[in-house]
Amino acid sequence: MELLEGGELSAGELIEKLGIEQANASQHLSVLRSKQLVVNRKAGNQVFYSVRDPILFEVLALMRRYFQNHLREATEMLEEIDKSTEETKA
41 shares a domain with 11? yes
- For residue 39, CA distances in Å to 5, 23, 36, 48, 66 come to 13, 18, 7, 8, 27
> Considering its fold, how many domains does the chain have in total?
2
Residue 88 pLDDT > 80: no
Q: Which domain holds residue 71?
A: 54-90
* 31 and 69 both lie in a single domain: no
pLDDT for 49 = 98
What pLDDT does residue 82 have? 87
> CA 4 → CA 41, 59, 64, 66, 86, distances in Å?
14, 14, 17, 22, 47
What pLDDT, on the 0 to 100 scale, is given for residue 15? 96
Answer yes or no: do 70 and 87 share one domain: yes
Residues 88, 69 share a domain: yes
Are 45 and 63 in the same domain? Answer: no
pLDDT per position as a tens digit, 4-63: 999 999 999 999 999 999 999 999 999 999 999 999 999 999 999 999 999 999 999 999
Supply the pLDDT for residue 90: 66
